[in-house]
Each structure stands twice: as structure tokens, then as C-alpha cells.
Amino acid sequence: MNKTIIIVVYGGFFRGMGHVVRMRRLAKELLQKGNDLILYTNEPVCVEMLSHPDWHVCMVQEEKASFQLQQGMKELKPDLLLIDVLDIDLEFLQVMQDSCGSARLVLFEEKREEACQLADAVINGIYGGLDQKRMRVNSTEYFQGTPYLLLDHEIGQLKDTYEVRKECKKVVISLGGSDPCGLLSKAVSALQAVEHVHILAVAGKASHIKEQIEDQHIHFIRHTDQLSARLWEADLAIVAGGMTLYEAICIGVPSIVLSQVDHQAITATGFAQKGACLHLGLGDHVNEKDILLAVQRLSGSYYLRRSIHLNGRTLIDGKGTERVKNILIHLMNHHQKEHKDV
């Protein structure tokens, strides 16, 4: 019997698009198990990114989201409610818990105790740090660490086949789905005179970038569903400290990090301390000269790039999406058994 899963995920210019990207990945995996999926999101750009012929996407007005979702859960009677919303309002979350009936409630990337205690499970692939931790606190199960990262299902194959080449010929720059600090333009401008490498600059779907520096060795594209594959083709990447950093490290691409926000800086610093990337700090505090010097340093040293590659490969195995899918299926099946036994 098919199960019904509701996913609530918000994104946009200020929130970023990482939440949307990872929930779309997870939805595809859950769909393969014959489940019925309904996704609720908050902006047209998110609806566009989440659209898929095999599930339904609803756009909510955030101030009216509680009412819209209450109605949806009353009609659909879900088995599972997944919420991936940055700093979700606690009153809204309480309403969701009260309204979801017998459905299991799962939160993603949530650290606040008062929010976590409302959930049946919390999955923190990013906030959980680098090491795998699984625990139960009262009635909430926690799955913490990079083993639970929701990365592209093809990333394992890319990881197995990536090689660090002696000569650095291609640089990929991807600084987030929204790039609120405008770091893509800064990075491309910094490298405009570096003509011995080809530069692929990827603007995110929610990015407001308008000006584009075009040159013989610089190519701009706006969004791609094949970013992991583009990273695999690169000898060096310049990324923010979000999901793309995790993908680059998993594949083994030597990376320079310009963090967009404080929590990304914490993540990137942790990886840099293990020699898995070169972190320049918060991007809006980094000047173009520093970016240029970092690229010259890494592109000019095969041994440094190979060291970063080797240090990062052991930190992320790329199997998190499969693990999380299995956790969610177990939650639904286990809940169903308990319910029948009552």
C-alpha cells in the first residue's frame, strides 16, 4: 500500500536554495518506493525547481501557511511529514505537530531543543558535524553528521573516478543558489586576467546577478541540474560553504571556499583544519587579490591540490541520501506496526 508523504521546504534569495535542492533529491528517492508525494514551498523559484511530473507542488503564503497545511493534512492524512525550513517558527511547528495526526514528523538541520523535542526524528547532516552520531533523547531520534548528507545519488560514481591532474586547466565557480553577497561576480572579476585556465561560472537559480564578465576563457551559465558532473570535470573549484562544498569534498575536487554566512564559515573552517579545502573566510570580507593569490597557489601546485583531494575523500562517503531514505521508510513501517498493535 502506497504511503503519503508531505514535504515542507522553503528557499529563496535570503534563505538560499540548498534546502530545496536536497529535498528534491530525497523526494526522488522516496518516489522510487511507490510513495505519494506532495511538496509545499514558499516562492515561485522554489516551485520551478521542485516541479516534477510524478508529484504535486503547492505554493504557500508564509503568513497563511499554517492554515493551508492544516487543510492539506486533514485531506491527505499523511504517513510522514518532512520539514526543511531554516529557523522555522516554533508556533508554526507546534501547529504542524498538532495537525499531523499519526504521521511521523521529521526535521532537517535543526539545533534548537524546543523545536527538536516536537519531532519524532531530527536529521542533521550539516549541523551534526563531521562524525556520525545517532542517539535518542526522550522520544526524539537524532541522526547527526556527514553520513546523513543528502547528496546527489550519482556522486559515489564521480567520487570513484575523479583524478587530480598534473596541470590545472579548468576552474568551476559556484557560490550558492542565491548568492546574496554577490560573490560570483567578485570571484570571476578576480580571475579575469588568468587566461591559462578555462573558467565555468555557475549562477544559482535564485541569484540576482545581472552583470556578466564575458571573455574567451570565461563561460557563464545560470543553474544546472548537473553541477556534480561539472565539478567532476574541474581541476579546481571556488565554492561557498553550503551543499556544493560537501559535494566538492566528497568527489575530491580541490576547493577554495568563500563563505556566504557565519554557519558556512564554521563548516568550512572545520574542513580546512583537516586539510580538505582552503577557506578564505566570509566572502564579503575577502578582496579580489586574495582570491587571485589563492587560485595561483593551488593551480600552481599539483602536490597541494592532491593533498587537499586525499584529505577530503575520507570525510564524506556520499551515501547519505540512501541512508536517510531507509531511515524514513523504517520510521513509517515501525510506526505502522506500533499503531496496529495498539
In whole angstroms, give the CA distance from residue 250 to residue 258: 18
Q: Given the DSSP bridges, would you call strands 36-41 and 4-9 parallel, antiparallel or unpaired?
A: parallel
pTM recorded for the entire structure: 0.90
Confidence check: pLDDT of 325 > 60: yes
Sorting pLDDT into bands at 50, 70 and 90, what band is 131?
confident
* Number of Cα atoms under 13 Å in the Cβ half of residue 265: 10
Per-residue cell: 153: 545519488
43-83 per-position pLDDT tens digit? 999 999 999 999 999 999 999 999 999 999 999 999 999 99
Say what the pLDDT of residue 204 is.
Answer: 83
State the residue for C-alpha cell 556544493. Answer: 244
199-253 per-position pLDDT tens digit? 999 998 888 777 666 678 899 998 888 999 999 999 999 999 999 999 999 999 9
Average pLDDT of the chain is 92
Neighbours of 194 (CB within 10 A): 15
Average pLDDT, stretch 38-42? 97
Confidence check: pLDDT of 166 > 80: yes
In whole angstroms, give the CA distance from residue 249 to residue 268: 11
251-298 per-position pLDDT tens digit? 999 999 999 999 899 999 999 999 999 999 999 999 999 999 999 999
Neighbours of 287 (CB within 10 A): 11
Q: Kindly state the percentage of the chain with pLDDT values over 90.
A: 79
Is 267:203 a contact under the CB 8 Å cutoff? no
Starting at the edge strand found earlier in the chain, the sheet holding 236-239 runs 218-222, 198-203, 170-174, 236-239, 255-259, 278-282
85-127 per-position pLDDT tens digit? 999 999 999 999 999 989 999 999 999 999 999 999 999 999 9
